[in-house]
Structure 1
Amino acid sequence: MDAELFPRVRTEIAPGAVHLPDWLTPDRQRELIGACRDWARPPAGLRTVRTPGGGTMTSRQVCLGWHWYPYGYARTVVDGDGAPVKEFPAWLGELGRRAVADAFAGTPYDTSTTPHEIATAPYDVALINFYDADARMGMHRDSDEKSAAPVVSLSLGDTCVFRFGNTESRARPYTDVELRSGDLFVFGGAARLAYHGVPRVHAGTAPPELGLTGRLNITLRVSGLQSAGQVT
């Protein structure tokens, strides 16, 4: 059956957290996958992230603009090959601003910043995570930035369960959201520091025409580091 039993529509998961299904066209998805493959090549390519406690993340990651490592940012891959971080392209920042504008179009936003100003925030960081069938992401907060601008999340490839929680702890209450290839998820305002994670990836669910095995997640953030004078 081709038609959805329950059509997927824009949903506010929590105040400031919005899910927009099918936001990326198939052509745009293929373009982004091609770009991710280029970014994943060394130097400063796809790496396994190691935590201070000695563990490793099961997803693998490459960064643009600023290199994220637990728990900070640098201009070089300090926990990898030491190469300078790859450039954050202007067109990706424009995509992030458009994502925020679309997510919050026609809605009140619970900060002192207007939606238009939020939508034009200078996005300068991309974290690209690759998930194979066994990869997961534990509940965490995106709290290493010096900016409260919304986080933009773009999904490509396999469908995942995205768990969006509360700002107080990793425990309940939380909401599980199905993110498919092409979906957009934006969270800011009261939801900006909510805990979130990926407990499951549904292997083999990527649209065949994408030629991708696994899941790619592109997360765009505003570091706030330039304005804070923390260039390294």
Structure 2
Amino acid sequence: MSGELMRIWRGDHTRLLVLVADQLTTADEEVAAEAAAVLESCHPVAAPAQEALATHIGAHHAAHGPNVWAAPQERLRKSHQAAVRALARLGDQRALPSLLAALDGDVDAWRAIQVAGHLPQAADQLVPRLCEHLHRIDLSQQWTEMSANALLAALAALGDPAAVPALVDTLGAAVRHEQHDVTQSALKALKAFGPAAAEALDTIRSLTTATDAHLRAAAVAALWTAGEDMGEVMPLLLGRVSKVDLEP
């Protein structure tokens, strides 16, 4: 009920957040896990609980070791992972060791990937690992779409140009396997890197004439940021405007 109140009702919830955070120290692992989950779900306003979350995570590491992210005890794992995700969403680098353990051990790595983009100050450690996960995805399988999109979003948020080669490879694979959603996500990710994504220009250009309107729009946007050539992009934009004007 506390979580629902903080998520849907505007106001200063500092006192309630602190009271929820106090439950992290209880000996009842189920209560601690639920408290961590509430703080994760309320992450946009969870700053008052930041130190409590960091202390909770540190206590887990001290008691259970560096691989507590993958602890076999369900409640302990839930409590730790939720606290790490909440702390990461606050941009706190104290969440990093557990995220790295998740990516290296590949246990519930998807949960770490979802929040990795909030720690750009640790891009040098996160990007190589995220790229490795991206390279392992087989885009010939349709069920890999969500994983690929999450990784692309995380790499775009981190903004490290070292990710560009992996993004270019993923864009090419997505096009070959007709994974349109992943293609669009890869284009959006490359757009975030501007001229640093110039090596993808040939593939991006080929997609400006795609039959899918969303793909065309994403390709034109990526072409502008990567190539910065108004003379090349303007006719494509005018063509889109003309088509819109002609629609009934």
Relative to the length of structure 1, the TM-score reads 0.21
Max Rg structure: 2
TM-score by length of 2: 0.20
> Which is strand-richer, 1 or 2?
1
Higher relative contact order (CA 8 A, sep 6+): 1
More helix by share: 2
